[in-house]
A and B are shown apart, each in its own frame.
Chain A
Amino acid sequence: MVLSAPEKKSPVSPAAPVCVRKPWPVRLAPYLVWQVIAVLFVELVLFSAGLGEEEIFKLDPELGSKHMTNKRITWRSEGYAQSYLDADGMREPGLTVAKPANTYRVALLGDSMVEGLQVPIEDTFGQILSRQLSQPGGRQVQVLNFGMSGYSTAQEYLQLKKAVLKYQPDLVLLCYNSRDIFENWSPADQVITNVRPYALHLPGGRLVVGNDTVLAWLKSPRARLLRQVDWLRQNSRIWGIISGLELEMSFRNPVYRAVIGFLTRPKKAIRELFAALKPGDASKPAFQIRTFESTASPPAAGSGAQTSGNARTGAPVVSDKVLSGAVAVKPENGRPAVRPQLISAAPNAVLERSPIAQSAAGQPDGRKTYIELITRTLSSLIDEMRRESRQAGCSFAIATLPVRAALCPAPGMDTAFFNIDYPQEIEMLSQICRDRHIPLIDCQKVAERLSPRKRKALFYTMHLTRAGHQFLADCLCGYLQRQIGQPAQ
């Protein structure tokens, strides 16, 4: 029958292959396998090139952030240097916690200027001093670098108690950098090194150093993400690359910011877009930092609208054509978009509870109140640090660091914060030191005597070059030589 003919099975020709569609897991498997191979290959290439090694800070509930441990660093953003952080997060090779015999130890406390990731560890001023001051076959001098990017004096105080004194230093040298005075109570943002505990000394009260700010930040989505990917941050160079790119683009690429804004917070992005379209006051800065969240707090009444271009808390992109060859340079860290809800309720609460705060809220000169507050806080922190040092049997001194914004500012670089420039900060610090008979080595003042060309040679974009570290070592050498010959105060 003709109709039944097609139903008749004919033998399948071997030349005509039957196309059987494989199940999707089987089809997906080669893609996954090759992707894994690609990722491993890239990790290998990045390892050999030393790329993606800028993720060097981990969250710390007490200090905010601190160095990762057992990690290689290759620093590229300013200068070029490779270092290794040991099991205690220290860069000095072969360092032991126990102090060797016949050794004088100096502990350097400070921020990224002291940390000096931009140059090899042997070229940092601490190591230069170690070499200069050690006697061959005689007394050795170890200068330990506890510098940590973004650290405020409050963090340095906590660090002193927690991590420094166990190294049994004979001298603690606090290296003061521009704006350190303001960072003891500064808002957190997306950058891990800007998450800081606060310190506050209200009139009639006592110094309060708390980590409520850090704990509040640790509850943020970003902090949770960072903790979830802790292993990746520690070990993956690809992660380092991607997070670095994300940070950079969030600063510099308006298209990226717009896309991310629309994806994550569409309503807010549209509001901001409309706000941006409105004609604004050109004299106003491009962004604002709300130092005080609560309008009830005294400084907010007079200085809540104060703005800043603090590089750590969100400077605009600094175009430094002088040193970086017409390449715009992103700030050291920080991000303009501050999140007021994370500024910490704790300092405000402390402030609001204080009777003086209640009365100061109505004062016309809120700025003066604020300056007094942060100066008092700084002096109390210094007192505490000196007390801790004395209890541990070591001397305490302060050195001011040379700062580019005050010596040879690049175009667009802010030279003052709260209308206070670095020399004024130093003057305030000098007063504190004079009152307490604390030695102060003013390296900034020495740097001011250099020719403009030599000043420029001290810095990359913001941080010290090899020449800068050598200069600092030369400044400090005389004081340390005298100090080493004297018993602890």
Chain B
Amino acid sequence: MIFSSLQYLIFLPIVVFLYWRTTGGVRLALVVLASYFFYMSWLPAYGLLLFALTCANWLLGLAIERSRTAGSRYSQVFLVLGLILNLGCLCYYKYTNFFLSNIAACLSWMRGNAGYAGSFIPAWDAPVLKVLLPLGISFFVFEFVHYLVDVYKGDKPVRSWMEFAAFASFFPSQIAGPIKRYQDFLHRLRQPERWTGPLFYEGMALVMQGLFKKVAIADPIGAIVYTGFTCSHTLSSADALVASIGFVIQVYCDFSGYTDIGRGSALLIGIRLPENFQLPYLSHDLADFWRRWHMSLSYWLRDYVYIPLGGSRGNRWINWRNLFLTMVACGLWHGAAWHYVIFGSMQGIGLIVNREWKNLLSAVSPLGAVCNTWFGKQLGTFLTMSFITVSYTVFRAPDMAHARYVLSGLFNVGSQCTLWEPILKSAVLQFLSVYTGFWLLTSALKAISSSPGQSAAGQHPGLGSRRLPSFIWDHRVGYSPPVKLAAWTAALILMVAAKPTEATPFVYFQF
């Protein structure tokens, strides 16, 4: 089941209701059962893989801790075993076909270009592994790796299997993140927030916001983007712009929408998941972008790839190498294809350039001052987003040939725009306007309500409850409940209006 399906709209209230009616071990069992039900609703066999990996990692965690406290070197062996198991699973399901096909392509190339020696190279057709990628494997494998490494480094392992199973299979974050940290998650699982009005409103607001982004914006844009990216010829500049910028909007609304629904669902059962996005498209530079985009992945890569590689220690070349390799890993994590590798490489090079540019700015202070002006920051945002748009085009295209059609299309000025009718048909401009308007209004109201010096004699410092009328703004929940309910009504109807004929899976499902 996906978050934007009717099944989930039935499933979630039942789970929330039962969760708050139970306590202790029963509640924990409910979370695990609900998570497995959610996960196995696609393909029950997937649940077995998750269960097996959960058991193995739980045992490995305990074994690592035991060896570590006993001073044995076996802890390292257990860690390596765990990494091989987890990453091996990921590689088997995700990268086997990619590697085999590339080996076959290399052999074929060598046979054709190695002259006489080439005749000794046997002809080999790569076998194709016909296996479905288990949903969310990249996410839960990364969580397992984080768990084992942290336990190896000295953190306490999870002694309760049920708690560990809840961490590994937690349905709001199971399929597309955020990538949780077990220390934080277990703390919240053991001490969930109390069921209160503000908690309900906050959770529901996140769910509705996420649904709107997914259903009313990402899906309709997706249909337009699909048309653009499956063209087998060079697009016109208008079409290429629509397709590439459309995907930038789609992937954000899709992924952050999913995260919002997940975070909102978790909040409804009193568990606060980490944020994954902080307005990334307003970043002033690329490093800032990666601190605000898919934050849980960025931090994971920082902690478990970049820093173990050496981080920013060492000379400039090593620093560059570490950045580059980390981002190539990031690209490869997204999928087993060369265009993902190229996407990661572009990000790596971009981050290296960004770092050197920052070094230059700190060395030449007048230049730094210019860049710190409002205009300089906006220019930075524009350049960053231009780079992101181009790199996302490579990311979205089914292969490099299609990426070339779209990218070369950006310069194909004068040709007719064929995507205008799909845009009108999808009515996505209206939905984008509604969402942007609502977001701007909310931001403005928040700014007004949190402006200093207007609070009521220090009772609610900074909340400014006196400034906005209570029938619009409530200092505890933001918009007052009547406004929230009205906004949800409007959002629901607009979602139904925007809904395409088929519910489309989230973009990040495939990762």
Which residues of A does B touch, CB under 8 Å?
A: 30-31, 33-35, 37-39, 41-42, 45-46, 48-52, 76-77, 80, 237-238, 241-242, 245, 248-249, 253, 255-256, 259, 325, 327-330
Listed by A's residue number, 27 A-B pairs whose Cβ atoms lie within 8 Å are A30-B471, A30-B480, A31-B482, A31-B485, A31-B486, A33-B482, A35-B486, A38-B487, A38-B489, A38-B490, A39-B489, A41-B490, A42-B490, A42-B493, A46-B494, A46-B497, A49-B430, A51-B427, A237-B497, A241-B496, A241-B497, A245-B499, A248-B501, A253-B6, A256-B6, A327-B502, A329-B501
Cα A49 to Cα B483 in complex, Å, equals 24
- Chain A residues with Cβ under 8 A from B422's Cβ? 80
Whether B486 contacts A37 by the Cβ 8 Å rule is yes
User: Out of B424, B427, B482, B494, which one reaches A30, CB within 8 Å?
Assistant: B482
- With contact pairs A30-B471, A34-B483, A48-B430 given, residues A42 and B501 touching in the complex (Cβ less than 8 Å): no
Whether A327 contacts B500 by the Cβ 8 Å rule is yes
How far, in Å, is A54 (CB) from chain B's closest CB? 11
Q: Which of B480, B485, B489, B498 has the most CB of A within 10 A?
A: B489
- Chain B residues with Cβ under 8 A from A327's Cβ? 500-502
Q: How many residues of B contact A (CB 8 A)?
A: 33
- Chain B residues with Cβ under 8 A from A328's Cβ? 501-502
- Chain A residues with Cβ under 8 A from B226's Cβ? 325
- Chain A residues with Cβ under 8 A from B499's Cβ? 245
Cα A60 to Cα B424 in complex, Å, equals 33
How far, in Å, is A22 (CB) from chain B's closest CB? 12
- Chain B residues with Cβ under 8 A from A242's Cβ? 493, 496
User: Out of B6, B425, B483, B501, which one reaches A255, CB within 8 Å?
Assistant: B6
Cα A328 to Cα B503 in complex, Å, equals 11
Residue of B nearest to A34 (CB): B486
Cα A259 to Cα B480 in complex, Å, equals 33
Cα A241 to Cα B216 in complex, Å, equals 14
Q: Mark B322-343, 1 if CB is under 8 A from A, else 0.
A: 0000000000000000000000
Cα A30 to Cα B499 in complex, Å, equals 30
Cα A68 to Cα B229 in complex, Å, equals 40
Whether B482 contacts A52 by the Cβ 8 Å rule is no
How far, in Å, is B7 (CB) from chain A's closest CB? 6
- The answer to the question of B434 belonging to the interface, with a C-beta cut-off of 8 Å to chain A, is yes
- The answer to the question of B10 belonging to the interface, with a C-beta cut-off of 8 Å to chain A, is yes
Whether A34 contacts B493 by the Cβ 8 Å rule is no
User: Out of B6, B430, B486, B500, which one reaches A38, CB within 8 Å?
Assistant: B486
Whether B427 contacts A50 by the Cβ 8 Å rule is yes
- With contact pairs A38-B489, A42-B490, A329-B501 given, residues A49 and B496 touching in the complex (Cβ less than 8 Å): no
Whether A52 contacts B483 by the Cβ 8 Å rule is no
- Chain B residues with Cβ under 8 A from A51's Cβ? 427, 497-498
How far, in Å, is A229 (CB) from chain B's closest CB? 16
Whether A45 contacts B489 by the Cβ 8 Å rule is no
- Chain B residues with Cβ under 8 A from A80's Cβ? 421-422, 424-425
- Chain A residues with Cβ under 8 A from B431's Cβ? 49
The 10 lowest CB-CB distance pairs between A and B, nearest first, are A49-B427, A34-B486, A38-B486, A49-B430, A80-B425, A38-B490, A30-B482, A34-B482, A51-B497, A31-B482
- Chain B residues with Cβ under 8 A from A238's Cβ? 493
How far, in Å, is A410 (CB) from chain B's closest CB? 15
